[in-house]
Structure 1
Amino acid sequence: MEKINNVTEFIFWGLSQNPEVAKVCFVVFSLFYTVILLANLLIMLAVCVGNLFKSPMYFFLNYLSFVDICYSSFTTPKMIVDLLAKSKTISYVGCMLQLFGVHFFGCTEIFILTVMAYDRYVAICKPLHYMTIVDRDRCNKMLLGTWVGGFLHSIIQVTLVVQLPFCGPNVIDHYFCDVHPVLELACTDTYVVGVVVTANSGTIALGSFVILLISYTVILVSLRKQSAEGRCKALSTCGSHIAVVIIFFAPCTFMYMRPNTTFSEDKMVAVFFTIITPMLNPLIYTLRNAEVKNAMKKLWYIEIFIFNKLPW
């Protein structure tokens, strides 16, 4: 059967149809996106200036910040502009690119968080062998694996959607192009595609969530053997990581570990893993981290020095 595609653009329903609520959301999410950019860029600069790449934890934290910036940038700027726009449209090609970017960077972030949990497990449970187990070569291989895994996941999602015919309507009840809302607009039976999408996204989200919960449970149990000082330090680190895991994975699991259906609450749930988590990650991972704080102080002193040297 020949594919019929009469749709050249999609129209977003957006977060809210109330003009007053939209204006408030515009201000709030503009502030959130600014924090995402500045805070994550600050972490990347601090890691570089403080020469923290030698530590696997900061090596992965640097790339987590980079992924957070890219991930939120695929949805948030468009959503912010649409809050005040009369016509919330996106081209068919733009929609497919957004779908690819969201799932590519979202899945990559899932894998990076999993790798970071493995790093903490080795650091706490096998401290004497830490530097040999998590050496630079293995870190590079694990990082490459996160990118390859994210790409494979995303290309599968896009391939499933691109082959579907769209002949109208073209209104997406969301603020970005995601798989389930787009599948609802296809003018063909999408049951099989929906099952594959759920198996793909749902398995990654729920599987990684379970693995992370198990790994942190093992870490917390092993802390009984640590000294009081080591236990407090490890609990501080793991506590922040667990907070990220819950905030990010719980909404992801709700969204993708289910049949091809959409709910009105999906848009607000999606805000957590596309905006809130990328904004909170820098705060959660650096709030009690002395090394990153020292690196930021060093960065601040460099900025003051450069500022004073400028010919005003």
Structure 2
Amino acid sequence: MPPGTEHAGSIYDLGYRPYDGPRLGRRHAVRTVYVESLRAAYGLGRRGASKVIPITLLVIGLLPAAVHLGIAAASRQDVDIVKPEDYSSFIEMIIALFVAAQAPELAGRDQRNRTLSLYFSRAIERRDYALAKLGALVSAMLVLTLVPQTVLFVGNAFTTTSALDYLRDEAPDIPRVLASSLLISGFCASVALAIASRTSRRAYATGGIIALFVMSAAIGGILDATVGRYGIMLSLFDLMTGATYWIFSAGHEYEVPTGLMFAAVVAITAVSVALVLRRYERIPA
């Protein structure tokens, strides 16, 4: 700088300008968490690798319906129609794998990134956040449980001699399909989220959820064969199947009343939801 040149500077007092835009409030915040969590459950808006597992499991869940309909369309003989109350047992492992993969994604990401404090410092409350996450996982599960049933229902109608007669005769099953899908989705989602919300480690949460479903089925089967018929109540898979049979008032081979299995599913769901809410009330933010 040449000699004799004076320094010049300016001070601007901009002051503090508070946000004066629209305040959308608590309801909008909850809805946003729900929508973004539902999108995340299927990897929407994220890198391609995030879509592989959920989309693959959804396609696999559709395979039993697609294969059955393909056989029925190609066969010249009558093919037994797959009953809606039986379909969940075909894809029960797919359902377990889906919640094992996606519940940790919904519950653990914000814990790992330490962003929970940002949520709870705004209009949203801890209970709101927990219910939005749970609702998103239940909705994602409904896609997995309802879409194959819809494909099967429509496909069965076209494989019969009279589609209109089939639709008229089977129409009473539509509310039962909705109820059973909602029950299974709520049951699996709440149990999985109760486990996944306990840790930010995705591998631990996924392993714990898979272990719970698989080990409960193994222990329930062993106790049912050795100790007594009520041992089957320890199997989460059998509880879902029995509860579905109860909703459809369908015949079954269980020695345990399916109404009791339905009550057990409802009770476990309620306890799991309570555990999720309690966890987020106490989780460090």
For the criterion TM > 0.5, the same-fold answer is no
Q: Which of structures 1 and 2 has the larger relative contact order (alpha carbons within 8 angstroms, sep 6+)? A: 1
